[in-house]
Amino acid sequence: MTITCIFAYRQITKLDVNNEHVSPLDDLLLFICIPAFFLNGIVSIIPAFLSHNGSNIALLVLEVIQVLIQTPLIIDGLRRSSNSKELRREKPGRELLTFLIVCNVAMWIMQTFEVKSHGLQDNRYEFYGEELWTIIGHLCVPLMMFYRFHSSVCIVDIWKYAYESAKH
């Protein structure tokens, strides 16, 4: 997803900037969720590091990096439009946006079911204790789930409106 975000951003910058339709609410909702990824990453890396679990560390770092790259993509993409017939015909980056929509929805669904399954307890429960990890989880996971859902909705808006003229 990180690589796709980078390539999608490069394609979306080919579109024209549209300052007429700017929604600060979408920006605010995205930014509110980012600290949850940082908090979850920090409190999850510590037990993974102590148990020498390199794959978990890599996944946590990549998740934070992906969110930090995807958020500017969404913010910029919501402010783009296609004012020329050539851009409306080519639709640069639309297939990459489709992939990001599917991935964000899949991650949202995965996190929804992951929260409800008690068999996935890992070393975080042992390190922090069940009570503290439950509190941390109840602080972070709903915001992380909301970020995935809201990101997919915003990317759908980009997919639909960025390839139309600004006057539409």
Residue 18 has, within 13 A of its CA and on its CB side, a CA count of 25
Q: Can you name the residues that pair with 81 across neighbouring β-strands? A: 16
Amino acid at 72: P
Contact 65, 3 (CB under 8 A): no
Contact 58, 44 (CB under 8 A): no
Check residue 18 and give its pLDDT.
83
**Residues 78-96 pLDDT 10s:** 998 888 889 888 999 999 9
Check residue 121 and give its pLDDT.
54
**What percentage of the chain carries pLDDT values higher than 70?**
94
Residue ranges of domains in the chain: 2-11+23-79+86-161
Phi, psi of 93 (to 5 degrees): 85, 0
**What percentage of the chain carries pLDDT values higher than 90?**
56
Calculate mean pLDDT across residues 4-26.
88
Check residue 149 and give its pLDDT.
96
Calculate mean pLDDT across residues 7-16.
93
What's the rounded Cα separation, in Å, for the pair 64 and 57? 11
What's the rounded Cα separation, in Å, for the pair 63 and 52? 19
Q: Work out the mean pLDDT of the chain and round it to a whole number.
A: 89
**Residues 22-77 pLDDT 10s:** 788 989 999 999 999 999 999 989 998 988 888 889 999 999 999 999 999 999 99
